[in-house]
Structure 1
Amino acid sequence: MAPKFGTSGLRGLVTELTSELVSDYTNAFLLACETNGTVRVGWDLRPSSPEIADAVITAISQAGQTAIVDGPLPTPALALASLSAGQAAIMITGSHIPADRNGLKFYTTKGEISKDDETSILSHLTALDGPAVEATVKIDGGQDAIAAYVARYTSAFGTAALTGLRVGVYQHSSVARDVMVDVVTALGGTAVPIARSDEFIPVDTEAVDPETSSLFAGWCGDHNLDVLISTDGDADRPMVVDRNSNIVPGDVLGAITSKMLGADILCTPVSSNTMIKQMDEFETIHLTRIGSPFVIAAMEDCLAADPSAKVVGYEANGGFLLGFEAVTPSGRLAPLMTRDCLLPILAPLSLAQASGTTLDALVADLPARFTAADRLTGIATDASKAFLTELTENRAARAAFFAGVGAETDADTTDGLRVSFEGGNVVHLRPSGNAPEFRCYVEADSAQRAQKLLGVHLEKLRTTL
């Protein structure tokens, strides 16, 4: 697949992200979007990122704008720095996907680009002609941006928020691996760094394989951990493992965080856990297509209708977006409408500590709806789209594929095909927008049933695709 925009930014094979292509997209962004003449540049730790960053920085400077080089840092830290300074930003990252792929995330002075911005960038997709102008490049090193990101949560939650907790930090190759340790320590917890890697490891917080889950269980026991935390490669998705070695899904973290912050309005993709419909705390729920641009668009619509709305957004992967100034245990938390990993980690943990309980107890108090998700890789996009079209348009084909689940009660095509059945089971199928992958999401009234549904339908997909 050629590089293209997906659920969050441009992505493609590293071999196809040539300097010329990267320069073209950077120039198109500079032409199409507001930058105020300055673009901050950051990247993750995959091997190809520094070279791609060089192409981005060169394009910015040769276009007569100022490039501020922040270097390796979490995506939300870069976004926070750019928004605070009224500057644009470009993050070089492939997020959770393997190291043979990479991508670009674009931020205007207002925040993450919208789908309309993507269309405008594509319409300007041409290299600038004419001689290069005098280059302006400032090496910031990202330390100020990282410090501001850490301070955001220290001031919001206080230096005693995690006191008494032993927090394992699965560092792997996350660009936030040191930031997580710093934040846990700053909030009074005991950070236990684990499994730092010199090689890039593609961690997908929505699809953790059994071998990795076994590692988590071993680490929790060996290090006597109260909780284990981590993120994906660029740190816009959280991963949390409770004291019983159970992974807490991102949309569960999102629901707890939303409740803790006092949100009234939730914007979240249709794939997220439907437990929120049974929670009295939320007045309005907007279900969107999958991808942060769609969540942000829904949040912006809510704020346009009522600027004082207490609106938040989160994705099933746990990336959390804050749309209002929230009151927190030690102060206030300014809006940050880009996916963040730290808030949905820290809010549930601090809430549990303040309540004298545990994270797993907070989760147990939520409505009993359970999700599971995984993906098949190496699936040609044409094949997956043809298969999904057949299921969508042919009810008999759906009945055959979903045989044994129960009678169909609804088929939602907001994003992919999400089928609900009598008894409350849900199976949601969706091809990736920018990688040869096919995802399967399920929901049921027990964790065991959800895992069984997932396993059965992944096997069906393997056989079919």
Structure 2
Amino acid sequence: MGKLFGTNGVRGVFGKDFTLQFVHDLTLSLAAYFKKGPILVGYDGRDSSPILAKVICSTLNYSGLDCNLGGLVPTPALEYATKKLGYSGGIMITASHNPPQYNGIKPVASDGVEISREDETKIEQIYFEKKWPKFKKIGKTGTESRVISTYINGIKSQVNHKKIRSKKLTVVLDLGNGAQAAAAPNLCKTLGCRTFLINEKIDGQFSGRGSEPTPQNLQKLSKTVLKTKAALGIAFDGDGDRSIFCDNQGKILTGDKSALLLANHILNKHPKSKVVTCLNSSSAIEELAAKTKSKVIRTKVGSVEVSRKMVPQKALIGFEENGGFMYGKHNQVRDGAMTLALALDLLAGSGKSMTDEITSIPKSYTTKDKISCTKEQATKIINALKKEHKNYDTTDGIKMIFDDKNWVMIRPSGTEPIARIYAEADSQQRLEQTMSKYIKKIKSMLVS
């Protein structure tokens, strides 16, 4: 049996491997998995998304399932509305941060969280064995206009919105021409923020800076934060579930650093809690959690791994190093706008600047890079590195551990033909030396 699901949903290049026929057949499989409606369908701002929405809704109806189309919405809004509005499941049409030619499908369970790895396997089995529903009746497609309002109200209920409003904070949003443009500015408005927008026009080509926020393409965000004397800048990815912070001095924070900042804020309010994070996140979270007698649980890389571990563990916090932060009291999924609201809650409550707040968390030096290679080449590299090292973890790729604060991790991407390289060190100098050494080593292995 082949494999359809990657690290996060099913993705491909529209019209090439992600064809209308493929989407039709995958939707038949999803209909067999969901068994009953109604299903909530939403999509991001990619040019191909409205076309795919028509195919998906029609196929669900052919399978006898009712569905409602929520329109263009951020992924976390679709997920939260699926749970809050009582849907049997959800289907989000998105390729997240992938380039414009890609698109994808992310199935959501009735609890508002991405389906588990076990359920992904069930859907793949249905797909390859063609165990599709036989035509008996036609379902109906309606519209769902409450997704954004339900989402924003849900976020507001989790923070001290009156306190935030009283502070009249200035915020810069880099919306990346993506789906969070449909929600984040409205959220800031309801929270009484003075808001400046960058790349606010939804554009399927992500012409402003690309669909993935990186330190290299967020210079405009930094400059605007300094120019407007904003308390905070924040950049979202294409479907709005991840966010990267910029502090009041215009410095772009790593996803790890912003997660540590928020985790510190939340754990101080709720000690003895559980935090779920991936193997490639900073080890500083263990140090921080120990102060509040909280427990850290590690998983493989991927938001599905973190989300689905959070649910049975009743974890309060989940995060990835890429800017994906999950607040269990709201929903156990990555959520860019919820993350924004938590940052505003932190600043409004402490009265300190973002830069000052950063000094209160453990120092963390992390970085990441990527190298083009096939999965077969990545496997060859991992096997070679196993022979060179004694202390390593192969739960997900290979993580070579030198001591508590120094490690390197290499894993093949689940969504692109690349290998991702992550590292943490106890100083910036050692981090740069370690990363340089392993990138050279991997490149030499690829040509040998």
Q: What is the TM-score of this pair, normalised by structure 2?
A: 0.88
Deviation at 1:373, TM superposition (A): 1.6
Distance (whole Å) between structure 2 residues aligned to residue 136 and residue 423 of structure 1: 56
Q: What do the CA deviations read for 1:102-139 (whole angstroms, capped 9, x no partner)?
A: 21100121332001101110111127475573340102
Letter in 1 for 2:71: G
Answer whether contact 2:38 2:68 (CA < 8 A) is retained: yes
Deviation at 1:293, TM superposition (A): 2.2
Letter in 1 for 2:180: A
Compared with structure 1, are the counterparts of its residues 300 and 155 closer, same or farther at alpha carbon in structure 2 (3 Å cutoff)?
closer
Answer whether contact 1:160 1:188 (CA < 8 A) is retained: no
Distance (whole Å) between structure 1 residues aligned to residue 85 and residue 412 of structure 2: 37
Compared with structure 1, are the counterparts of its residues 130 and 215 closer, same or farther at alpha carbon in structure 2 (3 Å cutoff)?
same
Letter in 2 for 1:184: C
Other structure's SS at 2:308 match: helix
Asked if residue 361 in structure 1 is aligned to residue 356 in structure 2, the reply is: yes
Deviation at 1:240, TM superposition (A): 0.9
Deviation at 1:336, TM superposition (A): 0.9
Distance (whole Å) between structure 1 residues aligned to residue 260 and residue 141 of structure 2: 42
Asked if residue 418 in structure 1 is aligned to residue 419 in structure 2, the reply is: no
Other structure's SS at 1:200 match: coil
Question: 1:386 is matched with which residue?
Answer: 380
Distance (whole Å) between structure 2 residues aligned to residue 237 and residue 200 of structure 1: 18
Other structure's SS at 2:164 match: coil
Other structure's SS at 2:158 match: helix
What are the residue-to-residue correspondences of 1:78-117 with 2, within 5 Å? Answer: 78-87=78-87, 88-110=89-111, 111-117=113-119
Other structure's SS at 1:112 match: coil
Distance (whole Å) between structure 2 residues aligned to residue 388 and residue 129 of structure 1: 42
Letter in 2 for 1:446: S
Question: 2:180 is matched with which residue?
Answer: 176
Question: 2:143 is matched with which residue?
Answer: 139
Letter in 2 for 1:112: E
Question: 1:439 is matched with which residue?
Answer: 420
What are the residue-to-residue correspondences of 1:285-434 with 2, within 5 Å? Answer: 285-303=296-314, 311-323=316-328, 325=329, 335-376=330-371, 378-392=372-386, 394-395=387-388, 410-421=391-402, 424-434=405-415
* Structure with the bigger percentage of strand: 1
Amino-acid identity (%): 26
Answer whether contact 1:170 1:177 (CA < 8 A) is retained: no
Distance (whole Å) between structure 1 residues aligned to residue 339 and residue 432 of structure 2: 24
Q: What do the CA deviations read for 1:19-68 (whole angstroms, capped 9, x no partner)?
A: 2211211111221236x421111111111212122211111111111110
Aligned counterpart for 1:274 among listed residues 269, 283, 294: 283
Question: 2:150 is matched with which residue?
Answer: 148
Question: 1:39 is matched with which residue?
Answer: 39
Asked if residue 121 in structure 1 is aligned to residue 147 in structure 2, the reply is: no
Deviation at 1:462, TM superposition (A): 4.1
Distance (whole Å) between structure 2 residues aligned to residue 449 and residue 349 of structure 1: 34
Question: 1:18 is matched with which residue?
Answer: 19
Q: What do the CA deviations read for 1:66-104 (whole angstroms, capped 9, x no partner)?
A: 110011101111111111122110001100111122211
Answer whether contact 2:222 2:233 (CA < 8 A) is retained: no
Distance (whole Å) between structure 2 residues aligned to residue 447 and residue 196 of structure 1: 34
Compared with structure 1, are the counterparts of its residues 312 and 423 closer, same or farther at alpha carbon in structure 2 (3 Å cutoff)?
closer
Letter in 2 for 1:412: D
Question: 1:196 is matched with which residue?
Answer: 200
Other structure's SS at 2:155 match: helix
Deviation at 1:351, TM superposition (A): 1.2
Residue segments in structure 1 that go unaligned for 5+ positions in a row: 304-309, 326-334, 399-407
Distance (whole Å) between structure 2 residues aligned to residue 56 and residue 177 of structure 1: 24
Distance (whole Å) between structure 2 residues aligned to residue 134 and residue 123 of structure 1: 25
Distance (whole Å) between structure 2 residues aligned to residue 344 and residue 338 of structure 1: 11
Deviation at 1:256, TM superposition (A): 3.1
Answer whether contact 1:3 1:434 (CA < 8 A) is retained: no
Question: 2:246 is matched with which residue?
Answer: 241
Q: What do the CA deviations read for 1:3-31 (whole angstroms, capped 9, x no partner)?
A: 82112211122221112211211111221
Q: What do the CA deviations read for 1:390-435 (whole angstroms, capped 9, x no partner)?
A: 212x12xx5xxxxxxxxx7x31212111112258322111110231
Answer whether contact 1:38 1:66 (CA < 8 A) is retained: yes
Distance (whole Å) between structure 2 residues aligned to residue 226 and residue 131 of structure 1: 56
Other structure's SS at 1:46 match: coil
Distance (whole Å) between structure 1 residues aligned to residue 293 and residue 25 of structure 2: 44
Other structure's SS at 1:368 match: coil
Compared with structure 1, are the counterparts of its residues 129 and 352 closer, same or farther at alpha carbon in structure 2 (3 Å cutoff)?
closer
Between the two proteins, the alignment pairs up a number of residues equal to 428
Compared with structure 1, are the counterparts of its residues 422 and 120 closer, same or farther at alpha carbon in structure 2 (3 Å cutoff)?
closer
Other structure's SS at 1:244 match: coil
Q: How much is the aligned-residue C-alpha RMSD, in angstroms?
A: 2.4
Distance (whole Å) between structure 2 residues aligned to residue 218 and residue 448 of structure 1: 27
Deviation at 1:258, TM superposition (A): 3.1
Deviation at 1:251, TM superposition (A): 2.7
Question: 1:51 is matched with which residue?
Answer: 51
Letter in 2 for 1:134: I
Distance (whole Å) between structure 2 residues aligned to residue 3 and residue 196 of structure 1: 36
Compared with structure 1, are the counterparts of its residues 187 and 459 closer, same or farther at alpha carbon in structure 2 (3 Å cutoff)?
farther
Compared with structure 1, are the counterparts of its residues 239 and 132 closer, same or farther at alpha carbon in structure 2 (3 Å cutoff)?
farther
Distance (whole Å) between structure 2 residues aligned to residue 3 and residue 165 of structure 1: 47
